Amino acid sequence: MRAFIRNWVGIVLPLRQWWALPYLWRYVRHWRAFQAASTERLHLRDSYPCLTDWLPSTPFDPHYFYQGAWIARKIAAQSPALHVDVGSSVLTMSVLSAQVPTVFIDYRPLQATLSNLFSVAGDILSLPFADSSLHSLSCMHVLEHIGLGRYGDPIDPTGSGKGALELARILAPQGRLYITVPIGRPRVCFNAHRVFAPQDIPALLTGLQLTHFSWVDDAGLFHDAADPADAIDQDYACGFYELVKTPD
């Protein structure tokens, strides 16, 4: 119920801004202290109050932090001639493209120019590649959104499964597919995302063999080289799946 209230109240009330108000007096004190110690004049028109960054440690999103580190290490170990990604974090892809030529496919095409990064408009349900043509492919924190309409895609309750089959279609024999998704108590959190049972992803990808599984637990801790069964008691964890397409 707490999560339900947070999700719904958050779209109509700027809770984060309200929670920052108690720190406004500290901002005023710091303004005065800086002005008293500096010959540089502060102007109210240029003020830019940042009230909630005074923290004991650097905050980060464990799912995205660890998945970026995970895929970078996987690609470094394999050194493919080309890597194709479908809809993952553009920040991760910008860094990965310094390591390997990277084609980035997204329903909402990326409007950016960067050497070694090639952005293409595409739909995960109909990807612009021939059967069995790609040797290195990723789709991270994406499958859970397919068919929910969040990003302008058509409503389709079977969208995640269809997307998984399309990824398997374009992967070459012995090619590697890297997938991350939320795992834990299976459910649809409409229209944000799905949460899969840990064993669901290998089951969706017939013809592919799971060769490596890692995950981030509900507490944000990373577990490398694990078993999907280790995560069955989680609520909103993240599973990292490396799969290889078996020869016909």
Residue-level pLDDT at 228: 97
| Domain boundaries defined on the chain | 13-56, 62-245
Q: How buried is residue 78: exposed, middle or buried, by Cβ count under 10 Å (0-12/13-18/19+)?
A: middle
Query: Comparing 200 with 2, which gets the higher pLDDT?
Result: 200
| In contact, 240 and 213? CB cutoff 8 Å | yes
Q: What does the alpha-carbon distance between residue 74 and residue 180 come to, in Å, rounded to a whole number?
A: 13
CATH of domain 62-245: 3.40.50.150
| In contact, 246 and 215? CB cutoff 8 Å | no
Q: Which of 140, 36, 44, 127 is nearest to 89 (CA)?
A: 140
Residue-level pLDDT at 9: 62
Residue-level pLDDT at 193: 98
Residue-level pLDDT at 15: 58
Percent of the chain residues topping a pLDDT of 90? 89
Rg (CA), the chain: 22
Residue-level pLDDT at 149: 96
Give me the chain's average pLDDT, please.
94
Query: Comparing 52 with 158, which gets the higher pLDDT?
Result: 158
Q: Say what the alpha-carbon torsion angle 119, 124, 126, 128 is, to the nearest 10 degrees.
A: 30
Residues 6+ apart with CB under 8 A from 134: 82, 84, 170, 171, 172, 175
DSSP state of 220: S
Task: Decide if pLDDT at 8 tops 90.
Answer: no
Q: What does the alpha-carbon distance between residue 184 and residue 236 come to, in Å, rounded to a whole number?
A: 5
| In contact, 171 and 164? CB cutoff 8 Å | no
86: Cα separation from own chain's centroid? 11
> pLDDT tens, 98-144?
999 999 999 999 999 999 999 999 999 999 999 999 999 999 999 99
pLDDT mean over 33-60:
95
Q: Which of 210, 230, 212, 229 is nearest to 221 (CA)?
A: 230
Predicted TM-score of the model (pTM): 0.92
Q: How many helices (H) and strands (E) does the chain have?
A: 7, 10
Q: What does the alpha-carbon distance between residue 242 and residue 218 come to, in Å, rounded to a whole number?
A: 21
Residue with tokens 């993240």: 238
- Order of strands, sheet of 222-223, starting from the edge strand that comes earlier in the sequence: 117-121, 102-106, 83-86, 134-140, 171-184, 236-245, 208-216, 222-223
